[in-house]
Amino acid sequence: MSRLRGREAVKRLSILLLWAATLCAMPGAWPAEAAMSVEIPAGKFKAVRMRNLPKDAVMAVVVEASGPVVVSLLNEQDARHFPKADEPVFIGSLDRRLSFTITIPADGTYFLVLDNRQGADARKVKFAIRAQRGAAPKPPPSSLPPNPEGKPDKL
C-alpha cells in the first residue's frame, strides 16, 4: 500500500468515526457503524482518532489480524504518552481475532491504537466499530465486510 493510499484510508476512517461520534452525541440516536482494513508495517503502529465521544456511549469493537497485534483504546492524555499510557480505557492482544465492548468513561477524544511494534512482519488488520449512546449496542457482525473493491480480504 502506498503512503498516500494509507493516509487517505486513515482520513476516510476518521471521517466515518467522526460521523459515528456525531450520531452518538444526538439524543435517541441510532447506532453508528464504521469498518476498515489497514496494513501495519513491522515495528509500527497506527492510531485512529475518534473526536467528541460522549460520556456513557457504548462501543462494540471487533478486530481481525493476520498475526499478533496489541489493541488499545486511549483517551487523549494517554495517547500523548503512548506507549506508556497511565490508564488505558482498554488494552488487549490478539493472534487472529478480538472483540470487546466498552463504555466511554468521559466526554472527549479517544484513540484506537493498533500496535505492531513487536512484530517482525507487516500485519493486515480489519476492524469494525458499532457505537451508540446509552445501552449496549449489538456486537459488531461476526465477520467483517469485504473490502471496498467488493472482494473479500484474506488474512
- What pLDDT, in 10s, does the model give residues 76-112? 999 999 999 899 999 999 999 999 999 999 999 999 9
Model pLDDT for residues 123-141, shown as the tens digit of each residue? 999 999 998 887 655 666 6
Entry pTM: 0.70
According to DSSP, the β-strands at 108-116 and 44-53 are antiparallel
CB 139 within 8 A of CB 99: yes
Coil, strand or helix: which one is 57?
Answer: strand
Helix and strand counts by DSSP (H, E) for the chain? 2, 8
- Tell me which of 12-16, 20-24, 72-76, 92-96 is least confident: 20-24
At 12, the pLDDT band (50, 70, 90 cuts) reads low
Q: For 132, what's the count of Cα atoms within 13 Å in the CB-facing half-sphere?
A: 12
The CATH superfamily assigned to 3-133 is: GOLD domain (2.60.120.680)
Of 33, 40, 29, 31, give the one whose Cα is nearest residue 13. Answer: 33
The C-alpha angle 30, 146, 143, rounded to 5 degrees, equals: 65
Using CA atoms, how far apart are residues 71 and 116, in angstroms rounded to an integer?
9
Model pLDDT for residues 46-85, shown as the tens digit of each residue? 999 999 899 999 999 999 999 999 999 999 999 999 999 8
